[in-house]
Amino acid sequence: MRFISRFLLTLLLIVVLTVLGTIGWLTMTEYLPAPFEDVAVGRYGDTGRVRAGDELTVLSWNIGYGGLGKAEDFFMDGGKKSRPADQNTVHVYLDGVSRAIAANAADLVLLQEVDTDSARSFRIDERKLLNSAMRCDSFALNYACPFVPIPWPPIGRVNSGLYTMSRDYLIDSAERISLPCPFTWPMRVANLKRCLLVSYLPLENSDKQLVLVNLHLEAYDDGAGKIAQTKQLRRFIEDEFSKGNYVIAGGDFNQVFPGSLEFYPNRHPENWEPGVLEDSLLPAGWTLACDLSTPTCRLLNQPFNPVDTVGTQYYVIDGLILSPNVELKSVETVNEGFANSDHNPVKAVVALRELTEFG
């Protein structure tokens, strides 16, 4: 009995020391970005400048790091898995994403959850597979951790972020703007550090700019994080518009768009419940662009089953915000059938109104 007691005590001590050591190591290596950071802009060919009066096609899509296609579930949504089966599965999903981006021929593309060196996507630099035919791009980390210790087997190393691409137009500069983090130590050390990726496109014959904001707001908080991040987003875009700039902000809000609960009531809040975007989010004259006819996201409590409309859940949590000098021509959720991501892309056609209309 004494031997068994000593063995169990030794085993417990090893477990405690391992946990404490892991937390200590993650604390020392925690990704702590500055409030504002310049972001490198990639340029791969001749580009033109955006002009007042131009019509632009904008595509926003959370691609689920090439690991959340039709065969996947996810442990944080009531499922079991933390990664796809193998590297080939990731390549299949990414190939589908690339084909969809090409088919929609967008001028500007805003992608969320793009991995560059993550165990969950088998260390593939996904940017290299997605920027075909694009002449400018920018990237900002919002998740960088040497080892995410949950679940079992653990997620492991993660380097992932927001990726913005321009087909023909010049991105002159870009910056990463940190958003409030709702988590405290020790949960914070292996969690996302949300941000805005802001790309500045100069206007031809003008000192004004098109300000393109790529975003992915908090998902698994108690709601306060989403609210604080949304408020900071609003302050930023209002400030840019006050300078006379054009503003397009798009991405995954992790909040249902106004009116969408009538079409997709939340029947499984025990698995995951998004926040709610209020109509009061924007001041007068701004446009909240979304398409309620097709869901933009599915719950990952099980692999995708289009026949099962009871055992899972759908949402409209992806879309765009347009400043008053950007006119919405059309917006649609492109129905990809959740084949290659747990999100469908949102495509909008917008027009930059003439500068004379806004002084």
Cβ neighbours around 165 below 10 Å, total? 27
pTM: 0.95
Name the one residue in this structure whose structure tokens are 């940190």.
178
122-140 pLDDT, tens digit per residue, is: 999 999 999 888 999 999 9
206-260 pLDDT, tens digit per residue, is: 999 999 999 999 999 999 999 999 999 999 999 999 999 999 999 999 999 999 9
DSSP 201-269: EEBTTSS-EEEEEEEE--SSS-SHHHHHHHHHHHHHHHHHHHTT-EEEEEEE-SEEPTTGGGTS--S-T
Rounded Cα distance, 101 and 126, in Å: 14
Place 357 in a pLDDT band, splitting at 50, 70 and 90: low
Percent of the residues in the chain that have a pLDDT greater than 70, as a whole number: 96
Longest dimension (CA), the chain: 88
The reported pLDDT for the residue numbered 22 is: 77
38-79 pLDDT, tens digit per residue, is: 999 999 988 999 999 999 999 999 999 999 999 999 999 999
337-348 pLDDT, tens digit per residue, is: 999 999 999 999
- Please say if the pLDDT value at position 12 is more than 90: no
